[in-house]
Amino acid sequence: MTESTELLYPQKWLSKASTGDRVTCELRMQIISGRIESGTILSENKLAADFEVSRSPIREALKVLASENLIRLERMGAVVIGLKEKEIEEIYDVRLLIETFVFERLVKIDTKGVVRELSKILEMMKVAIKYQDPDEFSYQDVLFHETIIRTINHSYIMMIWNNVKPVMEALILLSMRNRFEEKYDDFARIVKNHQLYIEAIDTKNRDLMIQSLHQNFDDVQGKVEDLWLSQQMLSKGVDPEK
Amino acid sequence: MTESTELLYPQKWLSKASTGDRVTCELRMQIISGRIESGTILSENKLAADFEVSRSPIREALKVLASENLIRLERMGAVVIGLKEKEIEEIYDVRLLIETFVFERLVKIDTKGVVRELSKILEMMKVAIKYQDPDEFSYQDVLFHETIIRTINHSYIMMIWNNVKPVMEALILLSMRNRFEEKYDDFARIVKNHQLYIEAIDTKNRDLMIQSLHQNFDDVQGKVEDLWLSQQMLSKGVDPEK
DNA sequence: ACTAGGATACTTGTATACAAGTATTATAAA
DNA sequence: TTTATAATACTTGTATACAAGTATCCTAGT
């Protein structure tokens, strides 16, 4: 497989990243986007040849992706698992689990600071929409949720977040790029949901928070299937089943 | 630092493990036990010299320990974080989070199989007590909870478990070794709590489950401080404050 | 005495070499 | 034709070499 295909991960996010990190991010995107199909067996040597790097950063990347449940390390080669509907739902479960836990802590502390911070991020998201920059929008979206989580200062919840964050980031990135081209008016709703989330935190309204959290998920999940289909058609022609 | 100190991690659990895994497990135990104090700066070269292996398995170990929040990888060296009270409580949070989630799924499915399996494990735990084998007991204890979690077939919950499991394992291991020497009759209560847990799953009694989960935590947590003190005195003499 | 600058001894990240083990394939014998 | 065996081409795991960057310490100059 020659390297004639373009890179999926935003290069400007990798300005100071190591080769290992670059490989990790790019491989992750290729797996989640479906460019590398699930079931594929990856070999360290082959990947090293494809990426034109040594096995060291490749090994590093595979370890990370395995910890994210995107691949499964076996005796001979790494088997690509990828993200199917089941996995997407599971990630949703985890995110719901994390953020509801976080919310329970948030209602006990002063949230003025974080509300202000979230408002700023939301403004940034609006600007990203205005200038039609899906990558910037995705970055701010992920940052939005990370900011909320970081507030409660819980290192082991943060650990969980750090494990799901890259996958979520990739998922949102792909979804947003797709929608900037087709369903541009979706973004008004997304912004509104985030506004609702901020309000929930500000007023410490538990029900409102759950509601906006679910809606926010629907925003991503609803269009994921479209994404797959387009990606799959792009990569292997037709056959949209199985 | 010459290697005149004995190994903390059960060697028989490492029969087919790679050098990297051995280093990971041993380093984890040394950090959690306090033999390596928090704040210590670890260097790859020094560790490689101490363990008499190359830097490759050391690097692997440090990456894993960093993902478990036991160390923090920085520019020059890895800073040991370790487990203080705060971290222990956080791990407890995560475990409560996971297992309550799991329970909500369990009540919706047939639990005959898992109840039987758990009963078997509990029998094994009793045997381990009878023959005063703290390592075997700890193994079965961890297996008990893993079995519960595995039942719901949720790869991303499993991912979280896989991240906290090694830390919990080490914690339980150290705690149990300590208690086999001093508070032998604690085990009757532990067994009883596990019996309660099984019953909760069998009868799908949510309250009972929460109750036994909390008690089970108290079993571990209650004695953790003793453990620290003994370990700290063992490693650096006196001074039990700060 | 004190500061500036450079040599030195670290650090990590990547590439490469080697060892040991496993799947595959081809060949030879029944 | 089928089966057993041996050679080969993989695989991963570990060790080592090298490059680039950073902290430290020592020296020289003021």
Alpha carbon of A160: minimum distance to chain B alpha carbons (Å): 6
- Comparing CB atoms, the residue among B63, B67, B156 nearest residue A93 is B156
Question: Would the pLDDT of A2 be above 60?
Answer: no
State the residue for tokens 């790859």.
B44
Alpha carbon of B5: minimum distance to chain A alpha carbons (Å): 31
Q: Which nucleotides of D are covered by protein (CB under 7 A)?
A: 10-17, 22-23
Cα distance between residue B226 and residue B218, in whole Å: 13
Confidence class of residue B237 from pLDDT cuts 50, 70 and 90?
Answer: very low
What pLDDT score was predicted for residue A1?
40
Question: Would the pLDDT of B145 be above 70?
Answer: yes
Ranges A10-24, A87-101, B9-23: which has the least confidence: A87-101
| B window 92-151, beta carbon within 8 A of A | 93-94, 97, 101
Residues 6+ apart with CB under 8 A from B87: A155, A156, B69, B81
User: Hey, is the C-beta of A60 within 8 angstroms of any chain B C-beta?
Assistant: yes
User: Hey, is the C-beta of B89 within 8 angstroms of any chain A C-beta?
Assistant: no
Q: List chain B residues with CB under 8 Å of A84.
A: none
Residue A158's closest CA among B98, B90, B24? B90
| CA dihedral angle for residue B63, residue B73, residue B167, residue B85, rounded to 10 degrees | -170
Mutate which of B16, B156, B171 to disrupt the A interface (most A C-beta within 10 Å)? B156
Instruction: Tell me which protein residue sits closest to nucleotide C16, measuring alpha carbon to C1'.
Output: A54
The two tokens of residue A52 are 């034109």
**A78 Cβ within 7 A of any nucleic strand D atom:** yes
- Note the pTM of the prediction, 2 decimals: 0.88
Give the number of other CB atoms < 10 A from CB of residue A236.
Answer: 11
State the residue for tokens 């408002």.
A119
Cα distance between residue A160 and residue B97, in whole Å: 12
Q: What is the percent of chain B where pLDDT is above 70?
A: 88
**A56 Cβ within 7 A of any nucleic strand D atom:** yes
Nearest CA in chain A to B98: A97
Ranges A215-219, B11-15, B65-69: which has the least confidence: A215-219
What pLDDT score was predicted for residue B189?
86
Confidence class of residue A186 from pLDDT cuts 50, 70 and 90?
Answer: confident
Farthest CA pair distance, chain B? 55
Confidence class of residue B1 from pLDDT cuts 50, 70 and 90?
Answer: very low
Nucleotide nearest to B56 (CA to C1'): D14
Confidence class of residue B6 from pLDDT cuts 50, 70 and 90?
Answer: confident
Question: Would the pLDDT of A236 be above 50?
Answer: no
**A60 Cβ within 7 A of any nucleic strand C atom:** yes
Residue A31's closest CA among A76, A77, A10, A62? A62
Alpha carbon of A167: minimum distance to chain B alpha carbons (Å): 11
With an 8 Å Cβ cutoff, are A97 and B94 in contact?
Answer: no
Question: Would the pLDDT of B58 be above 70?
Answer: yes
Where do the CATH 1.10.10.10 domains begin and end in chain A?
11-80
What pLDDT score was predicted for residue A219?
67
What pLDDT score was predicted for residue A101?
92
Q: Which CATH number fits domain B11-80: 2.40.10.340, 3.90.1170.50, 3.40.50.11060, 1.10.10.10?
A: 1.10.10.10
The CATH architecture assigned to A85-235 reads Up-down Bundle (1.20)
The two tokens of residue A121 are 């991020």
Confidence class of residue A213 from pLDDT cuts 50, 70 and 90?
Answer: confident
- Local structure of A106: helix, strand or coil: helix
D8 C1' to B223 CA distance, Å: 58
Confidence class of residue B240 from pLDDT cuts 50, 70 and 90?
Answer: very low
What is the DSSP secondary-structure string of B160-215?
A: HHHHHHHHHHHHHHHHHHHHHHS-TTHHHHHHHHHHHHHHHHHHT-HHHHHHHHHH
Task: Convert the pLDDT of each residue in A63-79 to its tens digit.
Answer: 999 999 999 999 999 99
Where do the CATH 1.20.120.530 domains begin and end in chain A?
85-235
User: Hey, is the C-beta of B67 within 8 angstroms of any chain A C-beta?
Assistant: yes
C21 C1' to A39 CA distance, Å: 24
